[in-house]
Amino acid sequence: MLRNGLEPWHLLIVAIVVIVLFGSKKLPDTARALGRSMRILKSEAQAMKEESAPAVTAPVDAPAAAQSPSPSQ
């Protein structure tokens, strides 16, 4: 029965139902709010990605660390 999933005329029916339910005045505001939410989600995901990436640090000067006196001596 559902061999092709959603066809273009299904999407047209869904669009008509949405317009009838919400009205044409509220749709631009809803789309704007959805756009803002998507933008916030994208920026937060990017921040989390940058936060979890390992930071590149300068190499530690190993010989200088080996020459420093240890606190037990």
Task: Dump pLDDT digits (tens) for 1-53.
Answer: 456 677 888 889 998 998 888 888 888 888 899 999 999 999 999 999 988 87
CA 24 – CA 34 distance, rounded (Å) = 16
CA 25 – CA 28 distance, rounded (Å) = 7
> What's the confidence (pLDDT) of residue 60?
58
CA 27 – CA 15 distance, rounded (Å) = 11
| Full-model pTM | 0.46
Predicted confidence (pLDDT) at residue 70 exceeds the cutoff of 60: no
- Is 19 within 8 Å of 11 (Cβ atoms)? no
CA 47 – CA 69 distance, rounded (Å) = 41
- Per-residue confidence band for 59, with pLDDT thresholds at 50, 70 and 90: low
Judged by DSSP in three states, 18 sits in: helix
